[in-house]
Amino acid sequence: MELIGETLDADPALRSGQALVDMEYRSVTVSGAYDFSQQVALRNQVWDAGQATDRIGVHLLTPLVIAGTDQAAIVDRGWIPLEQAAPEAWSKFDEPGTVEVKGVIRLPQSRGDFGSVSDPAGYLREWNLVNLPRIGEQISRPLLPVYIQQSPAPSWRALPYRTQPELDLSEGPHFGYAVQWFVFAAMLGIGYPFYVRQSSQPRAHAGQAGTRSVSYIEDTP
């Protein structure tokens, strides 16, 4: 999939909100300053570092106050291990001052994958879903209706580890079912006439057995 770059802080139309919900997976560049006092975390995130077992941790979700505006965008800054995931330990991962964030636009999550747990009511520091309307209720600034998943960079090797989104480019299970039924239909279309022909031959041969016994033997496999 081709990613088309945009710059949020340079284009007021993109900050209007509605246009952004139609731009998932498009790349963006945003400058501003993080508000770490309102940072939250996304639970149960896996880091696959090519090891025998995956490691469990959290992703840090940090409001970025967009330069020149009073608006904020939630930035998924990446993964940290579970042993460092307590809120009191998050400050070691702060990036103070003005920053430039490059990433991709992601839509909020109203419900998760099969087996996921919805978030309880009330103020939360750790979330099961990136539920922006809910998270926005506890953020003191207007929040964009999408969030930004920060992209990996060759120069960034420290925690939080940044990841690319996993794009599902398949046709899903319905495509597989369609192919399966097509195969069944093709087999039926080819096999049924053959079955009818084979079934009719013994009856025809039985009626001719007294006069054409040789022909019957020749037709028998």
Q: What pLDDT does residue 110 have?
A: 78
In this structure, are residues 24 and 106 in contact, taking their beta carbons and an 8 Å threshold?
yes
* Strands 27-34, 6-7: pairing kind: parallel
Residues with Cβ < 8 Å from 121, sequence gap 6 or more? Answer: none
| 84 and 187 assigned to the same domain | no
Give the pLDDT mean for 213-221. Answer: 38
Pair 127, 197 in one domain: no
Specify the amino acid at residue 19.
A
pTM for this structure?
0.70
Give the C-alpha separation, 67 to 31, whole Å.
6
> Is residue 1 in a domain?
no
3-state helix, strand and coil shares in percent for the chain, rounded to the nearest 5: 35, 25, 40
Quick one: DSSP state of residue 171? Answer: -
Residues 181 and 78 in one domain: no
Residues 142 and 215 in one domain: no
Task: Report the Cα–Cα distance between both ends of the chain, in Å, rounded.
Answer: 56
Average pLDDT over residues 109-116: 66
Quote the percentage of the chain above a pLDDT of 70: 62
Instruction: Find the mean pLDDT for residues 121-138.
Output: 96
With a cut of 50, say whether residue 126 has pLDDT above it. Answer: yes
Taking the C-alpha atoms of residue 14 and residue 9, their distance in angstroms, rounded to an integer, is: 8
Residue 115 pLDDT > 80, yes or no?
no
User: With bands split at pLDDT 50, 70 and 90, how would you rate the model's confidence at 118?
Assistant: confident
In a domain, 71, yes or no: yes
User: CA 83, 47, 159 angle in degrees (round to 5)?
Assistant: 60
Q: Tell me the per-residue pLDDT of 177-210, one tens digit each, with 9 for 90 and over.
A: 444 544 455 555 665 555 555 555 555 444 444 4
- Domain span including residue 80: 6-169
pLDDT of residue 160: 97
Where is 33: in which H helix or E strand?
strand 27-34
Same domain, 29 and 105: yes
The answer for 50, left when phi > 0, alpha when psi is -120 to 50, beta otherwise, is: left
- Number of domains within the chain: 2
Confidence band of 163 (pLDDT split at 50, 70, 90):
confident
Asked if 164 and 178 sit in the same domain, the reply is: no
* Shared-domain flag, residues 98 and 190: no
Report the pLDDT value the prediction gives residue 117, as an integer from 0 to 100: 82
